[in-house]
Amino acid sequence: MKETTILRINNINSIRDEESQVLAVMNGINRKIVFWVLLGILVSCSGFYLYFVTQTIINTATYEKIEKNIGALNSDLGELEAESIALKRKVDLDLVKKLGYEEVSNIKFVDRNIINQTLSLVKTTN
């Protein structure tokens, strides 16, 4: 009777040893998987970080370039407005007559009341 008890204990120990070996292998696999997953996440996050920093630098440089262009265009606009005002001051009645325009002697205006009276929508109900 003692032998069977010893065998049973030996069998239980051998099962526990097999379970511990399986768990050890699984732990090794799990650790490897966790390591590679974490390494992948770290590399991905680093890549995204570098991408966003690079895009920020590029956008800042572009913004500064656009600001310089806006400043140059504003100064050109000021010069063009000054030229336009100077040209408008040169236009007078003598220049207009030289170009062939004549003064209008009979001026006619359209009366708003006449338009409202002639243009109407008539709805008939049956």
Q: What is the per-residue pLDDT for 105?
A: 82
CA distance linking residue 79 with residue 90, whole number of Å: 17
Q: What is the per-residue pLDDT for 41?
A: 97
Q: What is the per-residue pLDDT for 93?
A: 84
Q: What is the per-residue pLDDT for 28?
A: 65
pLDDT along the chain (126 residues), means of 10: 50 60 68 87 97 97 94 90 91 86 80 60 64
Q: What is the per-residue pLDDT for 29?
A: 72
Q: What is the per-residue pLDDT for 50?
A: 97
Helix (H, G, I), strand (E, B), or coil: what is residue 14?
helix
Task: Report if pTM > 0.85.
Answer: no
Q: CA–CA distance from 97 to each of 12, 47, 85 (Å)?
A: 122, 73, 21
Q: CA–CA distance from 94 to each of 35, 86, 90, 98, 99 (Å)?
A: 91, 17, 10, 6, 9
Q: Tell me which residue of 105, 80, 83, 101 sits closest to 92, measured CA to CA.
A: 101
